[in-house]
Amino acid sequence: MALRLDDKKAVVAEVAAIAAKAHSAVAAEYRGLTVTQLTALRKTARESGVYLRVIKNTLARRAVEGTDFACMQEGLVGPLIIAFSLEDPGAAARVISAFAKEKENDKLVTKLVAIGGKVYGASELERLSKLPTRDQAISILMATLKAPIEKFVRTVAEPHTRLARVLAAVRDQKQAA
């Protein structure tokens, strides 16, 4: 069913608002997927904090105009589903990658990956999907900051520990004799 002009404007405004606050985007061709498969993909995306939308390419081009994802405009051809990561940069890539790896969903083909105002080919999907989440990045940073202090404390405490072990060994040797 064709959309009226007001409906088209509403769709463009909705997608533009999402694109303005998204961290990354993935466009994938969904030709050959069943409704059941697309419903499963949408459910997974919702649970992961990913905005997923099938939208006409002309409307998508207008929606991403003026955002970091304007670089995607030339690549928006064919039947595409667009996924925007709202919580962390790798979320959309993880959802699309995991879904496409399942045997029955092999018809979902990634076409574009965009992050930071640059568009990349489908080969970068795996790299983007391996980016840590915010919580993982914070824990990696904290572990890195904590490591030198832990090593220092162990170094300072080591002579005392060795002395205690030597004294215990001497005590055990004298008790045995």
pLDDT higher than 70, residue 1? no
Q: Which helix (H) or strand (E) holds 143?
A: helix 134-176
Residue 61 to residues 16, 27, 55, 91: CA-CA distances in angstroms? Answer: 10, 12, 10, 22
Decide if 81 contacts 52 (C-beta within 8 A).
yes
Q: Which fold has domain 5-131?
A: Alpha-Beta Plaits (3.30.70)
Instruction: Render pLDDT for 155-164 as a digit per residue (tens, 0 to 9).
Output: 887 887 788 8
Instruction: Render pLDDT for 123-149 as a digit per residue (tens, 0 to 9).
Output: 888 888 888 888 888 898 998 888 888
Asked whether the whole model's pTM tops 0.75, one would answer no
pLDDT higher than 80, residue 105? no
The pLDDT assigned to 57 comes to: 85
Domain boundaries, the chain: 5-131, 132-177
pLDDT band, very low/low/confident/very high, at 43 (cuts 50, 70, 90): very high
Rounded to whole angstroms, how far apart are CA atoms 109 and 97? 9
Decide if 22 contacts 69 (C-beta within 8 A).
yes
Rounded to whole angstroms, how far apart are CA atoms 131 and 176? 59
